[in-house]
């Protein structure tokens, strides 16, 4: 009974740290104090420890400099900026990614078939892209061609008034390469056909105009031209064109031509034959 109440030295030392921390409950505290009152050895030891313990508290620590705070907030700002650009990488997303990797077999199969479909799509896309690029290529060629045509039209218009018959011939020959002649070109050709002093140039102009005979205006012009021509060769050539085009509207003009004075007999026969063919 007495042993229980009275603390042994060993037991007391066991409580030393708690005693220093002031961390003993009331009963233990009383027991330790009682033991210290009775045991001189322990009293000395505890006193020394307490002195040391108190001394430790007196060890001063300097204040951290203000730079530490400044640096901290700078670091925090940098971190926030980095976080904002780097966007949310969280533990959660990492786990989700891992779960995606370690999924059952069927997902692999599904993924594989999706991959095939994707591959097909990519290939399809690629080839259609090739189509796109080839049509683009086509378009480029077409624009180049129209540019060449424009250039030829301009050349033709520039050369058609040249004093040299050879140059005028060349000018008219340019029109053979023109698929869509504009009004200027057609006008120039008719002017040449009806007024050019050189028969050969007029014949070539007629040939050139025949190309554009699909145009009603061109056909009308050709019919009118019958009355204006006085060269037998051109008259015959025009008559041939009328047959070729099956231009029935020309019959009236052809009859007028027959009434003309001093008409070449050969031409007369040719015209009569033409009227027969058309009617």
Partner 1 sequence: MNTLTDNSLMLRVKAGDLDKMGLLFERYNRPLFAFFYHMTHKRDVSEDLVQNVFYRMLKYKHAFTGEGEFRTWMYHLARNILNDSVKQNRSSDHYDVSEMADKLGGGTLADEGFEKREDVDFLHKAMAGLSDDYREVLVLSRFQEMKYDEIAKVLNINEGTVKVRVHRALGELKKKFFTNERR
* CA angle in degrees (0–180, nearest 5) for 116-120-125: 145
Choice between 88 and 197, CB closer to partner 1: 88
Site string for partner 1, 111-140 (x = CB under 8 A): ------------------------------
Q: How many residues bind partner 1 (CB under 8 A)?
A: 34
Report 35-94 residues binding partner 1 (CB under 8 A).
48-49, 52-65, 67-69, 71-73, 75-76, 79-80, 83, 88, 90-91
Q: Least distance to partner 1 from the beta carbon of 80, Å?
A: 5
Choice between 79 and 112, CB closer to partner 1: 79
Choice between 91 and 106, CB closer to partner 1: 91
Residue 123: count of CB within 10 angstroms of its CB: 10
**What region, left, alpha or beta, does residue 104 occupy, with left being phi > 0 and alpha being psi -120 to 50 degrees?**
beta
Q: Least distance to partner 1 from the beta carbon of 87, Å?
A: 11
Nearest to 274 by CA among 11, 246, 262: 246
| Residue pair 247/223 in contact by the 8 Å Cβ criterion | yes
Which residue's structure tokens are 């031509």?
A: 257
Site string for partner 1, 201-220 (x = CB under 8 A): --------------------
Does 277 sit near partner 1 (CB under 8 A)? no
| Residue pair 18/28 in contact by the 8 Å Cβ criterion | yes
Helix 199-211 and helix 165-174: axis angle, to 10°? 10
**CA distance readout (Å), 187 to 183, 193, 217, 222:** 6, 10, 11, 12
Q: Least distance to partner 1 from the beta carbon of 16, Å?
A: 7
Q: Least distance to partner 1 from the beta carbon of 100, Å?
A: 19
Contact with partner 1 (CB under 8 A) among 8, 9, 11, 23: 23
Choice between 76 and 122, CB closer to partner 1: 76
Report 230-249 residues binding partner 1 (CB under 8 A).
none
**Helix/strand/coil for 120:** helix
d(C-alpha 202, C-alpha 278), whole Å: 24
Interface contacts to partner 1, rule CB under 8 A: 16-17, 21, 23, 48-49, 52-65, 67-69, 71-73, 75-76, 79-80, 83, 88, 90-91
């Amino acid at each position: 009974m007495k042993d229980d109440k009275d603390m042994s030295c060993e037991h007391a030392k066991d409580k030393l740290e708690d005693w220093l921390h002031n961390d003993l409950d009331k009963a233990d505290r009383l027991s330790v104090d009682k033991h210290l009152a009775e045991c001189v050895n322990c009293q000395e030891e505890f006193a020394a420890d307490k002195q040391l313990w108190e001394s430790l508290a007196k060890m001063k620590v300097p204040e951290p400099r203000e730079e530490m705070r400044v640096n901290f907030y700078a670091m925090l700002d940098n971190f926030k900026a980095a976080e904002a650009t780097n966007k949310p990488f969280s533990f959660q997303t990492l786990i989700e990614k891992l779960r995606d990797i370690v999924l059952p077999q069927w997902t692999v199969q599904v993924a594989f078939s999706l991959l095939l479909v994707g591959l097909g799509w990519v290939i399809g896309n690629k080839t259609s892209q090739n189509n796109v690029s080839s049509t683009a290529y086509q378009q480029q060629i077409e624009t180049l061609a129209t540019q060449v045509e424009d250039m030829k039209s301009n050349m033709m218009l520039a050369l058609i008034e040249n004093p040299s018959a050879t140059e005028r011939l060349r000018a008219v020959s340019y029109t053979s390469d023109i698929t869509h002649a504009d009004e200027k070109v057609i006008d120039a050709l008719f002017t040449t056909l009806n007024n050019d002093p050189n028969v050969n140039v007029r014949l070539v102009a007629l040939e050139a105009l025949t190309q554009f005979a699909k145009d009603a205006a061109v056909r009308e012009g050709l019919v009118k031209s019958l009355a204006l021509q006085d060269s037998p060769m051109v008259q015959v050539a025009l008559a041939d064109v009328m047959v070729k085009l099956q231009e029935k509207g020309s019959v009236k003009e052809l009859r007028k031509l027959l009434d003309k004075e001093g008409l070449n007999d050969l031409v007369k026969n040719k015209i009569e034959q033409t009227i027969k063919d058309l009617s």
